[in-house]
Amino acid sequence: MRKKRIMVIGPSRCGKTTLVNVLNDYDGPLKRTQDLIYGKNTIDVPGSYIENAWMYKHIIAAAQDASYVIILIDQSKCTEIYPHGFAKSFTSKVIGVITKSDLMPENEEKCLRQLKKIGVVEPYFHISFPMGTGIDALKKYLFEKGEE
């Protein structure tokens, strides 16, 4: 039986690889992700996979190896990139994470509406890497809750 990992999905430059590194306890240099990368605890999905609808089938197939799917929304941009109901494509639990929550607080409500529109249910996590907020709560939820 293969190890179940946490899949991280989001548009380019939204903080996916930074989050993946935190979840894998990796403190090395950041590298731009060009293909699916299976880490110790994660599956890092390149932004191009979500930015091109024809790649969705690859995301959904790879998600079979995931205990959780994390969908990221970048609060500094809050671009609507996910299709309506996208979270329903996955059999594992989908978690909504708003990254860069320290930037452009006026976009928070728009981000929350977007998570609801794509079918992600609460709880939602607001994280900021420079401020160090929300990361411990997300890790506790993922690693102490156990697989469902």
Per-chain mean pLDDT for the chain: 91
Percent residues over pLDDT 90 in the chain: 82
CB proximity list for 29: less than 8 A, separation 6 or greater = none
On the question of a cis peptide bond just before residue 46, with omega within 30 degrees of 0, the verdict is: no
Q: Please state the domain extents for the chain.
A: 5-144
List Cα–Cα distances, 15 to 25, 88, 89, in angstroms.
15, 23, 22
| CATH of region 5-144 | 3.40.50.300
How high is the pLDDT of residue 48?
92
How high is the pLDDT of residue 3?
67
> Counting Cβ atoms within 10 Å, is residue 46 exposed (0-12), middle (13-18) or buried (19+)?
buried
Beta bridge partners of 96: 71, 124
Q: pTM for this one?
A: 0.92
How high is the pLDDT of residue 2?
61
How high is the pLDDT of residue 27?
83
- Give residue 144's pLDDT band: very low, low, confident or very high (50, 70, 90): confident
